[in-house]
Amino acid sequence: MYAETSSVTLLDSLTDFERREKIKKMTGFWSVFCDESGCSKPCSYNDVKFLVDPSTCINHLLISCFDVLLLILLLFVMIQKSFSKPYQDLVNRQRYSTLQLVSSITNGVLGLVHLFFGIWIFEEKLRKNRTALPLDLWLLELFQGLTWLLVGLTLSLKFKQLPRAWLRLFSILIFLVSGINCVLSLFYAMSSTQLPLKVALDVLSFPAAILLLLCTYKESKYRDGDREIDESLYAPLNGELNKNDSVCRVTLFAEAGFFSRMSFWWLNSLMKRGKENTLQDEDVPKVRDEDRAESCYLLFLDQLNKQKQKDPLSQPSVLKTIVLCHSREILISGFFALLKVLALSSGPLLLNSFILVVEGFESFKYEGFVLAIALFFIKIIESLSQRQWYFHSRLVGLKVRSLLTAVIYKKQLRLSNSARLTHSSGEIMNYVTVDAYRIGEFPYWFHQTWTTSFQLCISLVILFRAIGIATIASLVVIVITVLCNAPIAKLQHKFQSKLMVAQDERLKATSEALVNMKVLKLYAWETSFKNSIEGLRNEELKWVSAVQLRRAYNTFLFWSSPVLVSAASFGACYFLNVPLHANNVFTFVATLRLVQDPIRSIPDVIGVVIQAKVAFARILKFLEAPELQSEKRCSDGNMRGSISIKSAEFSWEDNNVSKSTLRNINLEVKSGQKVAICGEVGSGKSSLLSAILGEVPNTRGKIDVYGKFAYVSQTAWIQTGTIRDNVLFGSPMDAQKYQETLHRSSLVKDLELLPHGDLTEIGERGVNLSGGQKQRIQLARALYQNADIYILDDPFSAVDAQTATNLFNEYIMEGLSAKTVLLVTHQVDFLPAFDFVLLMSDGEILQAAPYHHLLTSSKDFQDLVNAHKETAGSNRLMDVTSSGRHSNSAKEIRKTYVEKEKQFEALKGDQLIKQEEREIGDRGFRPYLQYLSQNKGYVYFSVASISHIIFVIGQILQNSWMAANVDNPKVTTLRLILVYLFIGVTSTIFLLMRSLFTVALGLQSSKSLFLQLLNSLFRAPMSFYDSTPLGRILSRVSSDLSIVDLDVPFGLLFAVGATTNCYANLTVLAVVTWQVLFVSIPMIYFALRLQGYYFATAKELMRMNGTTKSFVANHLAESVAGAVTIRAFEQEGRFFVKNLGLIDINATPFFHSFAANEWLIQRLETVSAVVLASAALCMVILPPGTFSSGFIGMALSYGLSLNASLVFSIQNQCNIANYIISVERLNQYMHVPSEAPERIEGNRPPVNWPVVGRVEIKELQIRYRPDAPLVLRGITCTFEGGHKIGIVGRTGSGKTTLIGALFRLVEPAGGKIIVDGIDIGSIGLHDLRSRFGIIPQDPTLFNGTVRYNLDPLSQHSDQEIWEVLGKCQLQEAVQEKEGGLDSSVVEDGANWSMGQRQLFCLGRALLRRSRVLVLDEATASIDNATDLILQKTIRTEFADCTVITVAHRIPTVMDCTKVLSISDGKLVEYDEPMNLMKKEGSLFGKLVKEYWSHFQSAESH
C-alpha cells in the first residue's frame, strides 16, 4: 500500500515537473508569437473562451495552422498533377462562367486586402516598436492572404485540373472554417461594439467561401455535360480539319500546369530544339484549340447572335462583340497589369527605408537584410506579373487578328459588284495584311492606357510623401505635357487615315502593274507605269513623314518630361522651403525613373491606339459594304435543271434602277435543253449568264432556278496547286469518273507531256499553261462536279478548231447529253445542234428560236452567219474534200509543256512554283547594314545615337551632382537646383536632335529601298513572274514595306537607346558599389548567352511568320479573283475552312515567337533582380559610412529601374530583330537578275526604224532555262517588208514562243533575229519593244480612263483617239458613257466586255502605227461580224506594214501573203497558202481540212 502511494506521489511529482517544463517552453513560444499583453493567460489554452474569441492568439494560431495546412495540400496536389499528367494531343476548350469570374475576382481581392493589411501591420510594428514581434496578427494576415489568393483562384479557375475528391475537400473545409469564423466575429463585434478591419474581413470571407462551394458544385455538373457540349458546338466546319488535327501536336501550353505557365517552362523543349538544329515548320506545335481561328470565329458569331437577340432592332457593335469574346483574357491580363504596377510602386518606399537604415536609423535588427530580400521578391513578383500581362495581351491580339482575317475573308466571298468597285482586291489584301495586323497589335498596348495613369497617381502619392506640397508642381507639368499632346494626337489620327488611303492607292497601282507585267513589257510601258507608282509612293511618303514627325515630337515631349517634372518640383521645393535630403530627393528620383518608361511609351500607346482606330474604321466600312442577295435555288425534284425568267430586269449598279444592264428578259429553259447565246460584242451575253448565277441584282420581275450550277468563266480562273486539285475542286476522287472527265475535256495528251502528269503544280493564274489548256481544265472541273445546269461563257475561243470540234462532240453533246447547257459562243458552226439560239443585242433578247428558224426570220442573225461564212473563206475551200476527224498522235499535239514551259519548269522532278525562300540562321548585322547603307543612313543613325548617348550621360551627371551635393552644407539649395536644371535642359536639346535624325533616317531608307525594289521588279524577266506567286510580292510591298516605313526607324533607335540606358544603369550601380561586379559580370555573361540561345529559335519563328503570312495573302488574292466561280459551285464553305487552316498555320509561329520573347525577358529579369539584391546586400554588409547616403540613393534609384530598362532594352532588341526580317524579305526581291538594258547608248536604232519591216530569222533557238530542252529548234526564214505572215500550228507547237522571241521576252539560246538590217539582240529592250505593235492574246485594261488605256504616255491628241475609236467599232460605246474619253475603266476593265477589251487593244496598235504589227490570237473573243470589220481595218490601216498573225481560226490566215507552219518547235513549211494547200502531206493543208470538216459536221447537226 505504501509502495503504491509512493509510486503515485513520484508520478505526480514527475508530471508536475514535465508540466512546468512544458509551460516554460510554451511561455517562450507565446512571448514570440503573441506577447503577454496579447493573451493574459497563454497557458489556459484549455479554456474554450480563448478558442472562440477572434481577438486571441490561440484563435490566430489555429487559423494560421489551418491556412498552412491548406497551402501544403494544394502544393502537394499541384506537384502530383504536374508529374502524373499524361500528354494529350487535343485539349478541351476552357470557357469560364460568370460565376467563376465573380468567385475568382472576389477571392483575389480578398486575398490582396489580407496581404496588404498584413504588410501594413508589419511595417507599423517596425516603425513604432523597432521589432517585428509579436508575430500573431501580421503573420496570420499574410497566411490568410496567400490562402485566399492561391486556393481561391485555383478552385475558381483551375478546378478542371484538380481531382474531384480534393476539390470537394478543399471547398467544404474552407466553407466550414469560414462559416465558424464569420459567426464568432459577428458575436465579437456585437459584444465589443467596435469593428476592427480583421473582423470585417472574417465576415466577408464567408460569402467568398459560398462562391467557392457553388463553383465546385457547378463543376460536378459541368464535367458530366462538358464533353457533349464541346463536341457538338465546336465540331469543325468540315471533316477535313479533323483528319489533319488528330495527327498534329498541340503546344505544351495547352496542358501546362500553373508553375509551368508562370515560368514559361513549357517552351523549353522548343527553345532547345531551335538551338540544336534550324527549326523547320513541322517542329513548331499547333496552337491550342481555343486559340484557333475556327474557335474564335464561332465564339464571335455566338456573341453576335446574343447581341442581336438582346436588341433585335439595332446593329450590334463589332468592337463590343470582340471585347465580350475575350473579356476573360482581358480581365486576367488586367489583373496582372495591376499587380505589376503595385509591385513597381513599392520600390521607392523600400529605397526610402534603405537610405534611413544606411544612415544608421534602423527600426530593428537586421532590417537591412530584410529590406534587401524584400527588394528581390518584389522585383520577382513584378517580373512574373508583367510577363503574364504581356503574354495574355499578345494572345488576345493574335485571336483578334485571326478572327478579323476570317471575317474579312468570309465577307469578300459575299461582296456585291458595286462594293467590289469601292473595295478593290488590293484594298482587301491591305485590310488583312496591314489593318488586321495593326489591330492585333492593339491589345498588347491596351492596359498601358490605364496603368500609366494609375502608376502616375501612385507616384504622385509617393512624391507627396517625399517632397510634400511641392508635388503640385510635378502634377502641373504632367498635365501640361498631356494637354500639349492632345492636338498632336488629333493630327496624328488625320495623317494616319490619309496615309492608309495613300497606301491603298499605291498598292492598287502596284498590284495591277505586277499582274499585267507581260503586257507592260510588250508595249514598253514599264517606265511610265513605274513613274506613276513612284508618284503615288512620293504622296504616301509625304504622309509617312507627317506621321513620323508627329511621333518624333511626341517622343521628344515625353522623354523630356521627367527632366521638366524634376526641375519644376525642385524649384517648388526651393520656394516652399521644403528641405532636400538624400532620402527624399532619391525617393523622388527613383519614383521619377520608374514612371519614365511608362511616360515614354505614351506616344507609342497613342500612335497604336490611333492606328488601330483608323484600321478598325476601315475594316468596319468594308464589313458594312453591300452583299449579294443570296439567291434561293429551288429544290423541286421534277424541275431539276430548268430555268424560268419572267419580264425581268437586271442592273449591275445596285442603286441605279433606271440604268438596267438587261431589260425585258423572258426565258424558259427546260431540263436537258441546250441553249446557245450569241450576239455582237457588248450585247449583254455574259451579263445574262451572271444574272442567272445571281451575280447581277434583279431589279424587276422574277427568276427561278432549279438545281446545281457548274460554271466556266470567259477568263479562266485557275488555282495555285496541282492540275488534279483544280479538276477535283474539293470533290472526292473517283478514278473512273476522273479519267472519263479528262478524256472528254481533251486533256489526256497534255497530261502525258507534262513532267508530273496531273500532279504538275500550276503557277498562279495558271502561268505555265496555254490559254487553251486553262480553258479545258475549267471545263474538266465543271464536268467532274456533275451539276444540273452548265453555264459556259465562250470556252472555245482559246482552242484550235480540231480541239473545239472534239470538245463540242465529246463534252457538250455526249458528256452533257442529259444536262441543261447555256453556252455563249461566237462560233456559228455549232449553233444548228442547239435546241434553240438566243440572239442578243444591247441588253435585250431579240429572238429565241431554233437555228434554221432564226436563219429564215431574223436579218441580224443572217448577217452574223454570213459574216462567219465569209471569214471561214468557204469559197476558197470548196475544192478541199471533207475528211473524217483525225486522231492526233502525241507528237503532233505537242502541248504546252514545250511551248510555255517557262523558266524553272521541271525535268528533274522539281516543280515550277518553288517553296518561298527564307533566310536561315543568324545573319548577324547584315540586314541592319543593308538598311543603314541607304542614302547616307549611317550619318543619320550615328548622329541620332551619339545624341542619345550624350542625353544619357547628361542624366547621370545631373543625378551625380545631386548625390554629391545634396547633403553638402557649402552648396546652397538654389545653386544645387540651378545646376541640376541647366544640365537637364541642355541634355533635352540632344533628345530633339535624336528624334529628328531618326525620322530623316527612316524616310531616306524607305525611299531608297522602295525604289530599288521597284526597279528590280520592273526590270525582272518574265520567267521571274511565271514562277513567283503574286501574293509573295504583294506581301512584301504591303505589310513588309509598312513595317519598314513606320516601325524600323524608331525600333532601331529605341533598341540602341534602351540598351544604352540599361548599361548606364548597370555602370552607375557598379561604380558606386564595385563589389557588385563579382555578381554582375557572371550575370551579364549568362544574360548574353541566354540571348544567343533565344535568337536561334526566335529568328526562325519570325521568318516562318513572314512566309506563312504569304499563304494567307495568296489564298485571299486567289479567292477574290475567283469569287464568282467559288459562289457558282457553292464552294464558299470549303474555301473558308481552308482559309481558317492557313490562318492557324500563320498563328502558330507568331504565338511561339511572342511566348519566346516573354520566356527570355523573364529569365533576364531574374538576373537583374539578383544583381540589384546583391548590390543592396553589399551596402548592408559593409560598415556604415562606406558610402554617402546620396550615392546609395542614386545607385538604388538606378538599380530599381534596372529591371524596367533591361526589359525595355531586350524588348526593343527583339522588336527590331523581328522588324528587320522585313528588310531581309524586301532585299530578297531587290536583286532579281534583270533583263537586258532598256537602252544601249552606243547602239540606238534610227528614229524611224523599222522603215521597211523586213524580219530575218536565222537559226533561232530558244530554251527557257539553261538545262531545259530547246523549245524552238533552229528556225530560219525571212518575212519581207509589207508582207502579211500567218503562223499556224497545233496548241503548244511554239507559236507564242516565236512572238516572245521577237519582243525578247526570252533571249535566244542560239541564232538571231534581224529587222531592217539591225540585230534586235544588240539594241536596248525599250528601243525594240516601243517600235513594234502588238495585240496580245489576253486583252488587258488598266484602272483609269478610256484615254489613259489607249494612250498612257499621252502622246496623242483627243482627235486622233476619237478617230481610232471609230475605226475599231468603239466610238458609240464610249460616247454613250458619261465623260467620253474620261469615262472610267475599273480594275481589270471589268466594266467592259471581253470583246470590247480586245477592241481597245486594237486601238492601241492603231495609235502606235508600227511598221511591224503582231496579232497573237487577237480576235478570239470577238463575234464574226466584228471580226470581219476588224480584218478589213487591219488590212487597210496596215496595208504597207509587216503583219504577223498567230491564229487558231484558220480563216484568219487564208488571205496572208505567206503562211509559216510550226510543229514541235521546228519550221515545217513556209509558202503561200494556196501552194501549201495543193502540196501533198502539208501540215497547213491538214489543219484546213480539219477546220472545214468541223464546220460541216457542225452544220449537219
List, for residues 1339-1351, the tens digit of each pLDDT value: 888 888 888 888 8
Q: Name every residue whose Cβ is closer than 8 Å to that of residue 942 and which is 6 or more positions away in sequence.
A: none
**pLDDT value of position 912:** 58
CB-CB neighbours of 130 under 10 Å: 12
**pLDDT value of position 48:** 59
**pLDDT value of position 37:** 45
Whether the per-residue pLDDT at 287 is higher than 70: the answer is yes
H/E element, 1462: strand 1458-1463
**Residue 722: helix, strand or coil by DSSP?**
strand
Omega prior to 1250 cis, within 30 of 0: yes
**pLDDT value of position 123:** 80
Highest mean pLDDT among 877-881, 1146-1150, 1287-1291, 1378-1382: 1146-1150
DSSP state of 431: I
Whether the per-residue pLDDT at 877 is higher than 90: the answer is no
Nearest Cα neighbor of 269 from 953, 279, 259 is: 279
Whether the per-residue pLDDT at 905 is higher than 60: the answer is no
List, for residues 1450-1474, the tens digit of each pLDDT value: 777 787 889 999 988 888 899 888 8
Segment among 74-88, 320-334, 585-599, 700-714 with least mean pLDDT: 74-88
Per-residue pLDDT band for 910 (boundaries 50, 70, 90) equals low
CB-CB neighbours of 1376 under 10 Å: 9
Average pLDDT over residues 748-752: 84
Rounded Cα gap, residues 1166 and 1161, in angstroms: 9
Per-residue pLDDT band for 119 (boundaries 50, 70, 90) equals confident
Per-residue pLDDT band for 148 (boundaries 50, 70, 90) equals confident
- Of 1486 and 911, the one with more pLDDT: 1486
Whether the Cβ atoms of residue 1255 and residue 1278 lie closer than 8 Å to each other: yes
Nearest Cα neighbor of 156 from 79, 200, 210 is: 210
Q: Name every residue whose Cβ is closer than 8 Å to that of residue 982 and which is 6 or more positions away in sequence.
A: none
Query: In the structure, how many helices (H) and strands (E) does the chain have?
Result: 55, 23
Q: How much is the mean pLDDT over the chain?
A: 81
List, for residues 1112-1130, the tens digit of each pLDDT value: 988 998 899 899 999 999 9
DSSP state of 814: I
Segment among 7-16, 871-880, 1298-1307 with least mean pLDDT: 871-880
End-to-end CA distance of the chain: give it in Å, rounded.
Answer: 140
**Residue 1313: helix, strand or coil by DSSP?**
strand
Whether the per-residue pLDDT at 8 is higher than 70: the answer is no
**pLDDT value of position 456:** 80
Segment among 364-378, 947-961, 1277-1291 with least mean pLDDT: 364-378
List, for residues 613-667, the tens digit of each pLDDT value: 888 888 999 988 888 887 666 666 678 889 999 989 988 876 666 678 888 889 9
What share of residues in the chain are helix, strand, coil (percent, to 5)?
Answer: 65, 10, 25
1077 CA to centre of own chain: 45
Instruction: State how far the alpha carbon of 749 is from the alpha carbons of 743, 781, 905, in Å.
Output: 9, 17, 18
Whether the Cβ atoms of residue 418 and residue 1189 lie closer than 8 Å to each other: no
Whether the Cβ atoms of residue 1402 and residue 1433 lie closer than 8 Å to each other: yes
**Residue 1470: helix, strand or coil by DSSP?**
strand
Rounded Cα gap, residues 1369 and 1366, in angstroms: 5
Rounded Cα gap, residues 1113 and 1121, in angstroms: 12
Average pLDDT over residues 701-711: 90
Highest mean pLDDT among 602-611, 1422-1431, 1448-1457, 1474-1483: 1474-1483
Whether the Cβ atoms of residue 222 and residue 263 lie closer than 8 Å to each other: no
Residue positions counted in the chain: 1501
Residue 88 has φ and ψ, to the nearest 5°, of -115, 150
Whether the per-residue pLDDT at 1077 is higher than 50: the answer is yes
Which amino acid is residue 1352, in one-letter code?
P
366: left (phi over 0), alpha (psi -120 to 50) or beta: left
List, for residues 16-69, the tens digit of each pLDDT value: 655 555 555 555 556 666 764 444 344 444 455 666 677 777 778 788 888 888
- Of 708 and 1388, the one with more pLDDT: 708
Whether the Cβ atoms of residue 922 and residue 1095 lie closer than 8 Å to each other: yes
- Of 598 and 353, the one with more pLDDT: 353
Q: Name every residue whose Cβ is closer than 8 Å to that of residue 714 and which is 6 or more positions away in sequence.
A: 686, 793, 794, 797, 824, 1394, 1421
List, for residues 54-78, the tens digit of each pLDDT value: 777 777 878 888 888 888 878 877 7
Whether the per-residue pLDDT at 1023 is higher than 90: the answer is no
Instruction: State how far the alpha carbon of 302 is from the alpha carbons of 153, 296, 403, 553, in Å.
Output: 27, 10, 13, 44
- Of 1046 and 890, the one with more pLDDT: 1046
Average pLDDT over residues 1184-1195: 71
- Of 119 and 1012, the one with more pLDDT: 1012
Whether the per-residue pLDDT at 1490 is higher than 80: the answer is no
Rounded Cα gap, residues 527 and 515, in angstroms: 16
List, for residues 653-674, the tens digit of each pLDDT value: 766 666 788 888 899 999 889 9
Nearest Cα neighbor of 218 from 160, 163, 173, 144 is: 160
Rounded Cα gap, residues 274 and 276, in angstroms: 6
Whether the Cβ atoms of residue 107 and residue 201 lie closer than 8 Å to each other: no
- Of 104 and 1254, the one with more pLDDT: 1254
Query: Going edge to edge, which strands form the sheet with 698-705?
Result: 662-669, 643-650, 698-705
Helix locations, 94-196, DSSP H: 98-129, 136-147, 153-157, 164-192
**pLDDT value of position 233:** 39
Whether the Cβ atoms of residue 740 and residue 687 lie closer than 8 Å to each other: no
Q: Is 309 exposed, middle or buried (0-12, 13-18, 19+ CB in 10 A)?
A: exposed
The x, y and z cell numbers of residue 1007, run together, are 525611299
| CA contacts within 13 A on the Cβ side of 689 | 28
Segment among 159-163, 1080-1084, 1125-1129, 1442-1446 with least mean pLDDT: 159-163
DSSP state of 1293: S
Whether the per-residue pLDDT at 843 is higher than 80: the answer is yes
Q: Is 694 exposed, middle or buried (0-12, 13-18, 19+ CB in 10 A)?
A: buried
Whether the per-residue pLDDT at 176 is higher than 50: the answer is yes
Asked whether the CA dihedral 136, 142, 148, 150 is positive or negative, the reply is negative
The x, y and z cell numbers of residue 1348, run together, are 489613259
List, for residues 973-1000, the tens digit of each pLDDT value: 888 888 888 998 899 899 999 999 999 9
Segment among 517-526, 887-896, 1293-1302 with least mean pLDDT: 887-896
DSSP state of 326: T
Which amino acid is residue 1333, in one-letter code?
G
Rounded Cα gap, residues 1101 and 283, in angstroms: 10
**pLDDT value of position 1020:** 92
Whether the per-residue pLDDT at 94 is higher than 70: the answer is no
